[in-house]
Amino acid sequence: SQTIHQWPATLVQPVGSPLSLECTVEGTSNPNLYWYRQAAGRGLQLLFYSVGIGQISSEVPQNLSASRPQDRQFILSSKKLLLSDSGFYLCAWSKEARSAQYFGPGTRLTVL
Amino acid sequence: GTQVEQSPPDLILQEGANSTLRCNFSDSVNNLQWFHQNPWGQLINLFYIPSGTKQNGRLSATTVATERYSLLYISSSQTTDSGVYFCAPRGSNYQLIWGAGTKLIIKP
């Protein structure tokens, strides 16, 4: 069966510091991968999605970037964090674009 | 873009009660998922349901795509059912469109 991992689970970072969140998927190959952000008490906002290695689509212009160095690895990064980057970051995968999406446990990021 | 409206926004029930959550969407969609977000934030896929009815234990879902709505039924509620339920139709570009969710609290 497929599993999806995210780390770290929680992170507290100062404004202006860099960020790297990692997501890996096991048990499947060539998945579609997604990064979402959820503000407190709200729905999810799609940040990036990837259909293959090195192929990244950005949905919202922002302070963040994403990379997919390996087939089942998706990384969310920032060079300098802003206060507004605080939130709950969720990684998801699907077999194809039209298939069901499955989510990882998430990372709670607090920027102080 | 497609708008998703979920109702009610909040629901408080006693353990053992039944409930119906509704999701309306403004445009034709390719598919729809229902998720449960537990108090720890984990998003759990409940149903992947473009049309018709599916059942999984105490939960069932019905999507009527032609009338642009979906319903989630929870029977014999348990405290572990507490959390936020999200409806997420899939738009023309196959990306999920998220509603604001229904917050469900089950009291013992």
B47-76 pLDDT, tens digit per residue, is 999 899 999 999 999 999 999 999 999 999
Q: Which residues of A touch B (CB under 8 A)?
A: 42-46, 49, 59, 88, 90, 92, 97-103, 105-106, 108
**Alpha-carbon distance B77 to nearest alpha carbon in chain A (angstroms):** 23
Which residues in chain A touch residue B100, judged by CB atoms under 8 angstroms apart? Answer: 42-43
Q: What average pLDDT does the segment B89-103 reach? A: 88
Q: Among A50-54, B7-11, B29-33, B62-66, which stretch is predicted with the lowest mean pLDDT?
A: B29-33
Three-state SS letters, A24-70: EEECCCCCEEEEEEECCCCCEEEEEEEEECCEEEECCCCCCEEEEEE
Query: Using 50, 70 and 90 to split pLDDT, how confident is the model at B92?
Result: confident
A6: nearest CA in chain B?
A: B42
Which residues in chain A touch residue B33, judged by CB atoms under 8 angstroms apart? Answer: 100-101
Percentage of chain A exceeding pLDDT 70? 99
Q: Which of B37, B108, B22, B10 is nearest to B67 (CA)?
A: B22
Answer whether A103 sits within 8 Å of B94, measured CB to CB: no
Q: CA dist B93 to A52, B32, B96, Å?
A: 17, 13, 9
d(C-alpha B74, C-alpha B63), whole Å: 15
Ramachandran region of residue B16, left (φ > 0), alpha (ψ -120 to 50) or beta?
left
Half-sphere exposure of residue B101, counting CA atoms within 13 Å on the CB side? 20
Cα pseudo-dihedral A65, B36, B41, A18, rounded to 10 = 0
Of the partner residues A88, A98, A101, the one whose CB lies closest to the CB of residue B41: A88
Answer whether A108 sits within 8 Å of B42, measured CB to CB: no
Query: Using 50, 70 and 90 to split pLDDT, how confident is the model at A61?
Result: low
Q: What is the tens place of the pLDDT at every residue in B29-46?
A: 879 999 999 988 999 999
The one-letter code for the residue type at B50 is: P
Half-sphere exposure of residue B33, counting CA atoms within 13 Å on the CB side? 22
d(C-alpha A76, C-alpha A68), whole Å: 9
Radius of gyration for the alpha carbons in chain A, expressed in angstroms and rounded: 13
Q: What is the mean pLDDT of chain B?
A: 94
pLDDT attached to residue B101: 95
Of the partner residues A43, A98, A103, the one whose CB lies closest to the CB of residue B94: A98
